[in-house]
């Protein structure tokens, strides 16, 4: 069958396809099986072994659940990350999964207490065995029940790993507009980012960050996927861009292509701009016409060319006061104003080099 090599390949079966509960329960039961109790009599050892099995298996599961949800424990997600996750996974999906995982943890703790009480009362080694088996069975079903939730949290963690982490205390310039108008080219002119640039729409599929120096503040410059003017049928990339405009932007730089060589008319582009101005009335939106090396229309918008660099300095002079409202202060004054009240922790003095550190010093740092 003639087909491209990547199509011909059989679907990959990776071991991570197994539901999360498999590895978690394996670890829990393995650790429990290593219990080696001490005791004077066989009866005492049996009882202690049963208790160790219950405690170790349940504790191992709880520890794994904490590891799985660590990314969401305080300080947790930023407002922008929360909005990105809601856009990609659906409103409340993550919260519902986290709540079910938390409830499972509570039930597992209850299960351990109940099993321990049963073991304390058990009168034979058969009964001890029954108690442990019953505990294992319920533990396994509690963990299997939350497999879909563990899959969700893993997917969210992987999703966020592929997104930039923005510092909420630093200003963010979001570059947005129609596909293929020259957003990524402008991001490369304005910041340290080197995004993929190509002459076709939807080259940029998710938000990406670069940085620029505002003189004093560090500016985050966010490249976004192109957005078409249709609010209802937005694809995931478009939703992500709209989330960036609405939730991450200190200032939005709306890029228009006056040549229409991007494939989109000026009228369509203006319509999206008008919609965002209505939808996000408090977000400052700066309009810029790019490809000035090809076409320059007569209007008040700043004009730039990402190819020649023309107009970039002029654009900065429009953006800077909006991004750093106190940017007109001399940097020293601003630094004094923003300095923390408490002195920051001083760096420890460098330790003198020795050939052989004594045992006491070589402990964990
Ligand atoms: N002549 C000219 N071409 C540009 C300019 N800016 C971008 N382009 C071209 O427009 C196409 C789309 O650019 P890109 O930055 O990927 O657009 P995006 O999809 O909005 O991110 C690429 O072929 C760029 O080389 C510009 O200022 N002048
Ligand atoms: Mg792009």
Of 176, 178, 179, 182, the one to substitute when testing ligand 1's pocket (max ligand atoms within 8 A of C-beta) is: 182
pLDDT over 70, % of the chain: 85
Residue 365 pLDDT: 39
- For the chain, which domains are there? 19-161 (1.20.120.1190), 172-329+331-338 (3.40.50.300)
- C-alpha 166 – ligand 2 centre gap (Å): 19
CB 28 within 8 A of CB 60: yes
* Tokens 């429990």, located at residue: 32
Going by alpha carbons, the residue nearest to atom 7 of ligand 1 is 182
pLDDT given for residue 289 in this prediction = 98
Q: Which is the closest atom of ligand 1 to the Cα of 201?
A: 19
Is the four-CA dihedral 135, 140, 142, 143 of positive or negative sign?
Answer: positive
Mutate to test the pocket of ligand 1, among 306, 309, 312 (most ligand atoms within 8 A of CB): 306
Q: Please give the number of the atom of ligand 1 that sits closest to the Cα of 197.
A: 16
- From the alpha carbon of 304, which atom of ligand 1 is closest? 27
Q: What's the whole-model pTM score?
A: 0.81
Q: What are phi and psi of 348, to 5 degrees?
A: -65, 145
Residues of the chain with pLDDT under 50: 1-8, 327, 354-365
Residue 193, pLDDT score: 80
Cβ < 6 A, ligand 1 pocket: 179-185, 197-199, 203-204, 226, 290-291, 293-294, 305-307
- CA-306 nearest atom, ligand 1: 27
Q: How far is CA 92 from CA 85, 87, 96, 365, in A?
A: 9, 10, 6, 41
Distance 182 CA to ligand 1 centre (A): 4
How much is the pLDDT for 120? 97
221 CA distance to ligand 2 middle (Å): 13
- Give the pLDDT of residue 325: 61
Q: What is the pLDDT of residue 331?
A: 61
Q: Rounded to 10 degrees, what is the CA torsion of 110, 111, 113, 114? A: 110
Say how far apart CA 314 and CA 297 lie, in whole Å. Answer: 17
Nearest alpha carbon, ligand 1 atom 16 = 197
Predicted local distance difference test score (pLDDT) of residue 6: 44
Distance 54 CA to ligand 1 centre (A): 63
What's residue 355's pLDDT? Answer: 47
């Amino acid at each position: 069958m003639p087909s491209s090599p990547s199509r011909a390949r059989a679907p990959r079966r990776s071991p991570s396809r197994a539901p999360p509960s498999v590895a978690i329960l394996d670890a829990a039961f393995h650790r429990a099986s290593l219990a080696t109790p001490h005791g004077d009599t066989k009866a005492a050892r049996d009882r202690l072994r049963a208790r160790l099995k219950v405690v170790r298996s349940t504790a191992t599961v709880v520890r794994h659940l904490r590891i799985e949800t660590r990314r969401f424990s305080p300080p947790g997600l930023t407002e922008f990350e929360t909005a990105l996750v809601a856009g990609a996974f659906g409103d409340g999906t993550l919260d519902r999964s986290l709540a079910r995982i938390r409830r499972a943890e509570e039930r597992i703790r209850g299960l351990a207490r109940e099993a321990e009480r049963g073991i304390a009362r058990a009168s034979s080694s058969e009964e001890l065995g029954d108690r442990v088996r019953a505990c294992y069975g319920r533990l396994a079903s509690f963990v299997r029940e939350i497999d879909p939730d563990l899959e969700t949290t893993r997917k969210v963690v992987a999703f966020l790993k592929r997104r930039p982490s923005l510092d909420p205390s630093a200003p963010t310039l979001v570059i947005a507009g129609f596909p293929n108008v020259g957003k990524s080219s402008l991001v490369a002119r304005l910041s340290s980012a080197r995004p993929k640039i190509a002459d076709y729409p939807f080259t940029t599929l998710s938000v990406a960050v670069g940085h620029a120096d505002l003189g004093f503040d560090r500016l985050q410059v966010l490249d976004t996927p192109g957005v078409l003017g249709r609010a209802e049928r937005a694809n995931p990339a478009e939703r992500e861009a709209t989330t960036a405009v609405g939730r991450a932007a200190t200032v939005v730089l709306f890029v228009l292509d006056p040549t229409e060589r991007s494939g989109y008319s000026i009228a369509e582009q203006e319509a999206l701009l008008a919609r965002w101005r209505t939808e996000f009335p408090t977000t400052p939106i700066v309009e810029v016409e790019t490809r000035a090396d090809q076409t320059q229309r007569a209007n008040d918008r700043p004009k730039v060319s990402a190819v020649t660099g023309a107009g970039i300095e002029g654009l900065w002079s429009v953006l800077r006061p909006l991004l750093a409202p106190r940017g007109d202060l001399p940097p020293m004054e601003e630094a004094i104003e923003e300095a923390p009240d408490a002195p920051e922790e001083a760096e420890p003095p460098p330790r003198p080099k020795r050939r052989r550190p004594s045992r006491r010093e070589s402990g964990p740092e």
